[in-house]
Structure 1
Amino acid sequence: MKPSADMLELIACAVLVLVSCVGNTCLFYTTRKCITGRVQASFLVIFSLASVNLIKTLVVNVIRIVYSSGITLDSAGCKVLQFTAALTTSLAIWFVLHLALLYHRKLYQIVHPSSEAASPDQQEHSLKLVSVLWLAGVTVYIPLVVYTSKAASSNTGNGTDTLSTNRVYVDCLIDFGNRQVEFYYGKIFLVLIDVLPLAVLVFVCFWMSLLLSERRKMTYGDIWIGDDDSEVETLRGAKFSILLMLLITPLWISHFILVYFLKDLATCVFTPAVLSVLSSGFSALSPFLLMLVNYKMKLVSFCGAKKQKPMPPPADVVVSPYA
């Protein structure tokens, strides 16, 4: 007996929910353990990224599981599905770009030191930017709530429903009602707000890879000096950002191509499961990439530089009051 498309999608979404919940919960826990004082800018972005991953997992994938199990979505369910899926996808791209820019700046300062002092309000600026990104994402995708509706059942009773292999993608329609709105907002604007940050992300990560290569060749008077804790944290964060780019970019491009040619793939039984994996694969795998990078480097997850306590003087040594 061949598995149905709904069963394959249900299994894929259930696995994604399990893996994502475990990974992002561990990411929250391990990152929180690193915080000993004021929250670093990178921590704020990681917390936001993990939150986006969990929202996608617990809303989008759970709705798909419910739909694949045979429970029909109403119009409100379709609105929540389309809005949350689009919002979390864009926010994930924006937060990865924000993280990459943070570590690119730090890495550039290591490779090309500057006499200018670092901004003391970096955490405050990062918090404001994260808040702006959340607000911008909600504002951009609010129209989807208005334009999304549930399609009327078509192919009932004929036993040859060729669209049954991807019902959740065709039953929840986005009907703009106006060709100009559909073209400029749906086909240009909503695509560009993902494509442009992805293009910048690829460029920034390519630049970081060049800086990392240059960093490995650096010497100080023909003598190589080992990295301190802050440099190790920066190098680790840069490598993690590059890995995130290599994960999120192919997933987004593959999902976009499949959705664009969805009508030609409607009869494929694997289409719903593949689309679910492509759209939610980043939220499930990204926290494990972070833990893998830190394991390879024998460091605790994204803990920044830690101040070492000075060694106490021996008991038999008298410390000078002028020391």
Structure 2
Amino acid sequence: MKPSADALEIIACAILILVSIVGNTCLFYSTSKCITGGLQTSFLLLISLVFVHLIKNLVVNILKIVYSSGILLDSVGCKVLHFTAALTTSLAIWFMLHFALLYLRKLYQIVYPLSGAASLSEQKYSLKGIAALWVAGVAVYIPVLIYTRKPEHHQHSENDTGSLSTNRIYMECLTGFGNEQVELYYGKIFLVLIDILPLVILVFVCFWMALLLLEKKKMTYGDIWIGDDDSETEVLRGAKFSILLMLLITPLWVSHFILVYFLKDLAAYTFIPAVLTALSSGFSALSPFLLMLVNYKVKLVSFCGVKQEKSTPQPADVILSPYA
């Protein structure tokens, strides 16, 4: 028997929720172990991403499971679903751009050390910027929260078919602003630009980091290569994984946007709801596992990059190299 669109969506949501909970819990635990002094920008960014990812899955995907199970959402449920889905998507993009910019600056200072180190004021500015992104995200999507509704006349009728269930969550939870100009400039232009512009900047930033990584690879010190210390290893790894995360989040967002835009043409396919769920929540489920590797030391098996003293005694007849 061929599974229905609702069943496929429930399965996709359940898998994504499970993977996201495991990944983000591990990321939060590994990050909290590293916080010994002040709360650094990178730690606060990771914690912010953890909360965004968990909210995405524990609110949006659970509501989708409820809806796909046949329990109809009221207007409040529609508001929470649309508002949370849009807010968490934008915040994930904005925080990823902030994360990439952070490691771009650190990498640039390694390749060009004369540029100077980050000052305390820059650190405070970055922390305030993270808080400002949370506030801005909520403020931007307040109209979505207000104007999303469930039309009273759009109930399940006797002519509802299985194919219509593919996109009914988009048909029964509508965002109507009541004004054509507001609908055009805010709903169709502004809300797209606040996601796509950061994504374009993110692609440019990651391309710049790739060039800096190539330049760093060619660097020598008096024709003698000197290995990276722990801080440089963390920066290089952060830059590399920023590029991988960009390659993950950009295609997911673009694919989801295209499918939603052409949803009416694809509504006949039963797998579309599951695909849309995977595209919208795939980054929140997979990215924590990549982010954990930023500070993970392969040799020391430590999340924080803190060297553990080895108790193995050195033989008396061993001559240590000055570059050891």
Q: Same fold, TM exceeding 0.5?
A: yes
5+ residue gaps, structure 2: 311-324
Q: Where does residue 266 of structure 1 map in the other structure?
A: 267
Q: Where does residue 233 of structure 1 map in the other structure?
A: 234
For residues 121 and 305 of structure 2, the distance between their equivalents in structure 1, rounded to whole angstroms, comes to 17
* Superposed displacement of residue 177, structure 1: 1.3
Structure 1 range deviating more: 300-309 or 267-276: 300-309
Structure 1 range deviating more: 298-307 or 5-14: 298-307
* Superposed displacement of residue 159, structure 1: 5.3
Residues 270-281 of structure 1 mapped to structure 2, 5 A cutoff? 270-281=271-282
Describe the superposition over 1:275-316 as per-residue Cα deviations: whole angstroms up to 9, x where unpaired: 00000000000011223566685465762566989xxxxxxx
Match for 1:278: what amino acid?
L
SS of equivalent to 2:13: helix
Q: Where does residue 119 of structure 1 map in the other structure?
A: 119
Change (3 A) 1:159 1:112: closer
Match for 1:132: what amino acid?
A
Q: What TM-score do you get using the length of structure 1 for normalisation?
A: 0.91
* Superposed displacement of residue 160, structure 1: 3.4
Q: Where does residue 85 of structure 1 map in the other structure?
A: 85
Match for 2:255: what amino acid?
S
- Count matched residues: 309
Q: Where does residue 315 of structure 2 map in the other structure?
A: none
Residues 297, 303 of structure 2: 8 Å contact kept: no
- Fraction of identical pairs, as percent: 74
Structure 1 range deviating more: 210-219 or 36-45: 36-45
Residues 237, 302 of structure 1: 8 Å contact kept: no
Residues 5, 166 of structure 1: 8 Å contact kept: no
Q: Where does residue 318 of structure 2 map in the other structure?
A: none
For residues 272 and 283 of structure 1, the distance between their equivalents in structure 2, rounded to whole angstroms, comes to 17
* Superposed displacement of residue 253, structure 1: 0.2
* Superposed displacement of residue 142, structure 1: 0.2
Q: What TM-score do you get using the length of structure 2 for normalisation?
A: 0.90
For residues 305 and 118 of structure 1, the distance between their equivalents in structure 2, rounded to whole angstroms, comes to 21
SS of equivalent to 2:2: coil
Residues 233, 302 of structure 1: 8 Å contact kept: no
Match for 2:103: what amino acid?
Y
For residues 293 and 223 of structure 2, the distance between their equivalents in structure 1, rounded to whole angstroms, comes to 33
Describe the superposition over 1:104-132 as per-residue Cα deviations: whole angstroms up to 9, x where unpaired: 00000100111534212343222211110
For residues 243 and 67 of structure 1, the distance between their equivalents in structure 2, rounded to whole angstroms, comes to 34
Change (3 A) 1:295 1:173: same
Query: Over aligned residues, Cα RMSD in angstroms?
Result: 2.0
Describe the superposition over 1:78-120 as per-residue Cα deviations: whole angstroms up to 9, x where unpaired: 0000000000000000000000000000000100111534212
Residues 57-68 of structure 1 mapped to structure 2, 5 A cutoff? 57-68=57-68
For residues 239 and 63 of structure 1, the distance between their equivalents in structure 2, rounded to whole angstroms, comes to 35
Change (3 A) 1:159 1:171: closer
SS of equivalent to 2:174: strand
For residues 56 and 74 of structure 2, the distance between their equivalents in structure 1, rounded to whole angstroms, comes to 19
Q: Where does residue 316 of structure 1 map in the other structure?
A: none
Match for 1:244: what amino acid?
L
Change (3 A) 1:296 1:139: same
For residues 197 and 300 of structure 2, the distance between their equivalents in structure 1, rounded to whole angstroms, comes to 33
For residues 256 and 108 of structure 1, the distance between their equivalents in structure 2, rounded to whole angstroms, comes to 33
* Superposed displacement of residue 230, structure 1: 1.0
For residues 248 and 294 of structure 2, the distance between their equivalents in structure 1, rounded to whole angstroms, comes to 14
Residues 176, 182 of structure 1: 8 Å contact kept: yes
Residues 31, 301 of structure 1: 8 Å contact kept: no
For residues 37 and 296 of structure 1, the distance between their equivalents in structure 2, rounded to whole angstroms, comes to 20
Residues 20, 285 of structure 1: 8 Å contact kept: yes
For residues 11 and 241 of structure 1, the distance between their equivalents in structure 2, rounded to whole angstroms, comes to 30
Residues 41, 122 of structure 1: 8 Å contact kept: no
Deviating runs (4+, > 6 A) in structure 1?
Answer: none
Residues 233, 305 of structure 1: 8 Å contact kept: no
* Superposed displacement of residue 215, structure 1: 0.5
